[in-house]
Structure 1
């Protein structure tokens, strides 16, 4: 007696487990030498701006009078030198570009076709990319922010001008600077998923993260409201409390909310943007 297989029963390939997708994205991220170099050069550039500023203060400290030295800490300048504006601009651009690379790189080489052929669930693939880049840039941000604070305050402490992490606003500045990295990286990945072209994506990352905050001002309520929704201005509210007061001030809770909304919205765009579009 022979039996025939039911033609309605087809052997199916098992679905890829999410942890396997994460492992694959991790391997792809570090398979290029440019990834490690981007992190190293980005960190060195940020530290060069911040540590260089602190060193200049150390070098010319003797030119300050007693009143100027007392005002230095009272005005919050040690925190401003730990996280300078130039340093944070380079920082945001670097992590924004790093966040875009995993997606625009695959589209540029055509490897994305192979990826989606092997794993047809595009949203799962993109969710794995989001998970990996979020984890990596969070660690990177924490390392850069803490190193910048420690190095600059060590230099300033030679003249008793440094502040400890327990100083009011210091811990918040370090955390805000650290978390700015995954926020900008996810924004870069979302733009990469929408644009899919390396050069255009990088220009757009620069325009959205760095150029747009210079266009809007706090002179009018509607412009100030738009300004407060941008990551750079949110970081400025959290990390630079000693700066010039705004005409339309924003709360620290509102600034943290901006961080969360940008991260969640960027992750959602990155995951869903590839679902209904051709490769």
Structure 2
């Protein structure tokens, strides 16, 4: 028998492994799934429409009321109180639509490390929301400049600061929403909780007044985010502290969603 045919001389063949996958594959899959839905396109257009209407109104009121000069970037960052809900719906849909259809089981089957599914959704929605926030801000500056009618200043560095702050805040709201959606799993419940947290509760506390309630309001995500967006004007703490408060709320929602995802069946 030839030595070339003996078992010891037979070349070893290692089974080939499929390429891709891992966390990078999870991110790519979430990116593809995001743009296969109708909701992101509607949310992005709605955000642009709300920004246009709000900033035009903001600039007009400043001119008609003969208000002092202010940075033109104040108009778009003030619109975030409404625009953020476009981000909420966009990020929420990436999670709740899968629970509604049962396709989340497929996602978890192909990405066995459950937290990678949540992390991938958070990363994709944060990136899209950040870019959207910057573009909405730029649109708001362009729209508001004319109705301001000389009652606004334009400084490039300050405008860029406002746009980047708007993008960062939108990204954090997206991650906060994804965590909340994984914790609650239902669109109506997620939207109700977030609407209460970022809109209704601040309004209630401000309306009731009093030092204790107003102090509590200062540490809610929307209020802290507003202080950050406006550079700390009128805030009880510096602008970076406002960003850290929003980041803390985001981290709390993220880890709550992670805990529920890890313990409950899909």
Equivalent of residue 112 in structure 2, options 120, 135, 138: 120
Say yes or no: does 1:173 pair with 2:162: yes
For 1:217-256, what aligned pairs fall within 5 Å after superposition? 217=206, 219-221=210-212, 223-240=213-230, 245=234, 249-256=236-243
The structural deviation recorded for 1:36 is: 0.9
The separation in 2 between residues aligned to 1:94 and 1:151, in whole angstroms, is 19
Q: Which moved more, 1:265-274 or 1:101-110?
A: 265-274
Equivalent residue number for residue 42 of structure 1:
47
Q: 1:145 to 1:78 in 2, by over 3 A?
A: closer
Could you say which residue in structure 1 is the equivalent of 2:98? 106
Q: How far is the alpha carbon of 1:266 from its aligned partner? A: 3.1
Q: C-alpha offsets along residues 179-230 of structure 1, whole Å, 9 cap, x if unaligned?
A: 2211211121111101111112111121111112123346324x34422222
2:133/2:163 contact within 8 Å kept: no
Shift of 1:102: 0.7
Q: Structure 2 length normalisation: TM-score?
A: 0.81
TM-score, normalization: structure 1? 0.78
8 A contact 2:125–2:174 mirrored in 1: yes
Question: C-alpha distance in 1, partners of 2:217/2:25?
Answer: 40
**5+ long unaligned stretches in structure 1:** 4-10
Looking at structure 2, the residues matched to 181 and 268 of structure 1 have their Cα atoms a distance apart, in angstroms, of 19
> Which residue of the other structure, out of 84, 90, 93, is the alignment partner of 2:82?
90
Q: 2-side partners of 1:50 and 1:260: how far apart?
A: 26
Residues 10-159 of structure 1: pairs in structure 2 closer than 5 A: 16-55=21-60, 57=62, 60=64, 68=66, 72-73=68-69, 76=70, 78-84=72-78, 87-156=79-148, 159=149
Is 1:198 the counterpart of 2:190? The answer is: no
Q: Aligned residue pairs: how many?
A: 252
Task: State the partner residue of 2:262.
Answer: 275
Supply the distance in 1 between the matched residues of 2:256 and 2:17 (Cα, whole angstroms): 29
1: distance between equivalents of 2:91 and 2:187? 12
Could you say if the C-alpha distance between residues 123 and 13 of structure 1 is closer, same or farther in structure 2, counting changes exceeding 3 Å? farther
Contact 2:224–2:246, Cα closer than 8 Å, also in 1 = yes
Contact 1:97 1:205 in 2 (8 A): no
Deviations along 1:38-65, one digit per CA (max 9) or x if unpaired, are 111122112211123324555x4xxx7x
Instruction: Structure 2: give runs of 5+ residues left out of the alignment.
Output: 1-6, 8-14
Q: Against the structure 1 CA distance between its residues 274 and 82, is the aligned structure 2 distance closer, same or farther, given a 3 Å change threshold?
A: closer
- Counterpart Cα distance in 2 of 1:150 and 1:238: 22
